[in-house]
Amino acid sequence: MVASAIHFDPMTGTPSAVASAMRRRVSAYTRENLGRGFKIGITKDPESRFARGYADYYDEMIVLYTEFVP
């Protein structure tokens, strides 16, 4: 796994407070010619999740939300 394949740019806050902004961010990634396939999911450990199989199917992972900042 290439470390630069996982990008951390998370928003924080309660889901109801960030829902509108998150929809706009996801929409930006799905516009024409920006990506051919994507998966939206939940994980507590992005590095492990990406390494356990997603790296075989996706070029990158973008972490968009976290409930807290470690």
Q: Cβ(61)–Cβ(6) under 8 Å?
A: yes
pTM given for the model:
0.74
Check whether 1 has a pLDDT greater than 70. Answer: no
pLDDT of residue 67: 79
Q: In the chain, what are the domain boundaries?
A: 3-65
Query: CA 9, 19, 45 angle in degrees (round to 5)?
Result: 45
Residue 53 pLDDT more than 60? yes
Give the pLDDT confidence of 5-46 residue by residue, as tens digits. Answer: 999 989 998 888 999 999 998 888 777 666 677 888 888 899
Residues 42, 30, 54, 62, CA torsion sign: negative
